Amino acid sequence: MQHNCESEFAVRFERVAIESLGFVLPPHVVSSADLERQLTPVYDRLRLPQGRLELMSGISERRFWDPGEAIGKPSSESARLAIESSGIDPQDVGCLIHASVCRDYLEPATACRVHAELGLGPQCWVYDVSNACLGLLSGMVQIATMIEHGVIKAGLVVGTESSRNLVESTIQSLNQNLGLTRRTIKPSFASLTIGSGSCAILLVDREYSRTDNQLLSCVARAECQHHQLCQSDTDRAGADMQPLMETDSEQLLHAGVSVGVKTFEQLLSEGFTRDEFDGTVCHQVGATHRRLMLDSLDMPSENDFSTFQWLGNTGSVALPTALALGLKAERIKPDQKVALLGIGSGINSVMLSTLWKQPLVAGDLDDNAVANLELADGNPAAPRFRAECEASIS
């Protein structure tokens, strides 16, 4: 592993392969129109136009798990898919990190349940990591560092996000708050864009890899003076939690993009050029974030793969799931170099450079997922709503 002080703490990896990815999509599809129908009381009171949510976010759908679904259950399933598809002996997994925002308990670590259900060995490092939407990317870096130093030969990072309780709590709170105005309702709208999903990433020493999909380098940047721009109200765990979240979406957008631009420059300083990247995968926030981020980085949108239009913002699993689906849909092809552009509230940014040789992804697609993958990028709201909705924002 090479550390370059001149490139602001960039790290290059020589021994790390991204061997496989596993994902699980929740069964319940919930449209933005469905949510707005549930918000009819507050929409009518404030004279908000239907279609506003999709227009502002570009998100037409998101998914929910069954009510009461434990976080560890889909995490174990997506982790098992990643291991079984790779052919790696589970006893060779030397580190398991559960890295989503959502977890089953405050203690023990949700990783403990996944470890037990996968039948991993007693020599395995097992713990949870929490870093907002960067959890899985942070876990990847930790595992890659252990592999690079020869501590382990394989490691697995996994997470599951569940948005049902957050979205339902937000809807209930908004409908009950008779004091809301068009201005004071704004910090709650980001909560309605959150979706659910599960994803796992298996990394191995290249000596044991069958695919040789390479993790080339990583960079990170922290500008935590912005930590107040997106905050959840409680620190609770489990299927019965009822969280609420407030987000200053406009300031978060511009601060996040600013941090992202600086982090990408760090990534390029490792000897890459923009033209060298055949594709990108951003954190899946929404249409405005994606457009402004790619424009600011001077990277072409046609080479970026996104899923937020039909999965919403799935937090820590958003970028990894988009990567997995981009590989499965063959939008990311063998021998392509791809930049993973992660940004999380705090604000932190982690970006990775990768090279794909033999993409290996396991996970089932239902008819809805297949249809969405066949659509071109972008899912704008109906034009007839545009003028009315844009006027209502001011």
- Greater confidence, 8 or 259? 259
Residue 133: active-site member? yes
Q: 384: pLDDT confidence band, cut at 50, 70 and 90?
A: very low
Pairing of strands 16-24, 10-12: unpaired
- Greater confidence, 62 or 269? 62
Q: Is 384 helix (H, G, I), strand (E, B) or coil?
A: helix
Q: Is 264 helix (H, G, I), strand (E, B) or coil?
A: helix
**DSSP one-letter string for 80-100:** HHHHHHHT--GGG--EEEE--
The pTM of this model reads 0.89
How many CA within 13 A on the CB side of residue 206? 16
Which residues face 247 on adjacent strands? Answer: 230
**How many whole angstroms separate alpha carbon 306 and alpha carbon 344?**
17
**How many whole angstroms separate alpha carbon 321 and alpha carbon 365?**
12
Q: Which of 107, 250, 330, 390 is catalytic?
A: 107
Whether the predicted pLDDT of 67 surpasses 50: yes
Q: Is 227 helix (H, G, I), strand (E, B) or coil?
A: helix
Q: 375: pLDDT confidence band, cut at 50, 70 and 90?
A: confident
* Maximum CA extent, the chain: 63
- Reported as a single tens digit per residue, the pLDDT across 184-210 is 888 888 889 999 999 999 999 999 999
Q: What does the block give as tokens for 289? A: 């974030």
Q: Which of 102, 133, 230, 282 is catalytic?
A: 133
The pLDDT, as a whole number, for residue 196 is 98
- Reported as a single tens digit per residue, the pLDDT across 91-149 is 999 999 999 999 999 889 999 999 999 999 999 999 999 998 999 999 999 999 999 99
The pLDDT, as a whole number, for residue 183 is 87
Residue with tokens 């061997």: 19
Residue 389: active-site member? no
Q: Which domains does the chain have, with CATH numbers?
A: 2-360+370-380 (3.40.47.10)
Residue type at position 173:
S
